[in-house]
Structure 1
Amino acid sequence: MEASVDYPLLNAFMTMLWFFLWVMWFVLLFRVIGDIFRDDGMSGWAKAGWTISVCVLPFLGVFVYLIARGRGMGERDRRQMQRQDQAFRSYVQEAAAETPAAERTSADELAKLAGLHDHGDITDTEYAQAKAKILASH
């Protein structure tokens, strides 16, 4: 009970505030370091210089980086997200792509139909009707 008297609510609030500011500082620091290495337009010497300035004088280095190159950080993030989105979309299209209808042959369609019939997904009459329809259309 004495510990709660010695540590009032305002002090607990201030401790939490400082803790969250400390976490936010590290998030900002790692974001800046990640942006330094992600930038393809920056030379290796420039990356080394910014990294040294951020590590040696962290507060000053991060704030100067944000002032000098802060606008580009958002643009680089946006471009990276667009590249990732495009890569994901092309992967999904490749994975989900079947042979286009124009390139499908009747043999492909009959093989697919036979697979359905062998699996028991369609009955003998449905198989015969679908087979007749495929042979009539090609």
Structure 2
Amino acid sequence: MSSNQFLAYDYPLLGAFWTMMWIFLWILWIILLFRVIGDIFRDDSLSGWAKTGWTFFVIILPFLGIFVYLIARGRDMGKREQQHARAQKESADAYIRETAGSAGTSDADELAKLSELKSRGEISEAEFQQAKQKVLTS
């Protein structure tokens, strides 16, 4: 029983190429499916029934549903993606500004520190006035 099987000869290079191509296309299809479903739920101009209808159509008949969605509503997908990214950035910037502002010291605290430095003689009257002016204008 010396039947040696050489699997490499049973699976040629072109077969391996086509297998990798199909795997790539399958992954691409899954990504496209999630992008379309995400766009359906991200769109504020669609009503709840329209979102339900598109989602049902895309899930029940995925190939036809995706192609029809891309033809009917694909032109504005990029615009909706940009609006969503812009809204997220503005939200993050507002949160950072709010957090950084609350962590900082108030003008009264800054003036108290400057007054203490002046009373200890570490800064002169001119430096105190200049720093005070800078705090009050900011």
Above 0.5 in TM-score? Answer: yes
Q: 1:108 Cα deviation (Å)? A: 3.2
Q: How many residues align?
A: 124
User: Is 1:54 matched up with 2:47?
Assistant: no
> Measured at CA, do residues 36 and 130 of structure 1 come closer, stay the same or move farther in structure 2, by a change above 3 Å?
same
The two structures have a TM-score, normalised by structure 1, of 0.76
1-structure distance, mates of 2:89, 2:12:
50
Gaps of 5+ in 2: 133-138
The two structures have a TM-score, normalised by structure 2, of 0.76
RMSD of the TM alignment (CA)? 2.8
Residue type of the alignment partner of 2:107: R
Matching residue of 1:104 = 107
Residue type of the alignment partner of 2:110: D
CA deviation profile, 1:76-130 (whole Å, cap 9, x unmatched)? 101001111111222222233345xxx723x53434897xx9xxxxxxxxx6314
> Measured at CA, do residues 137 and 64 of structure 1 come closer, stay the same or move farther in structure 2, by a change above 3 Å?
closer
Q: State, as a whole percentage, how many aligned pairs show the same letter.
A: 47
What does residue range 116-135 of structure 1 map to in structure 2 within 5 Å? Answer: 128-130=121-123, 133-134=127-128
Q: 1:51 Cα deviation (Å)? A: 0.9
2-structure distance, mates of 1:136, 1:54:
66
Partner of 2:88, secondary structure, is helix
1-structure distance, mates of 2:61, 2:114:
66
2-structure distance, mates of 1:72, 1:113:
59
Matching residue of 1:73 = 77
- Are the aligned partners of 1:36 and 1:47 in contact in 2 as well (CA < 8 Å)? yes
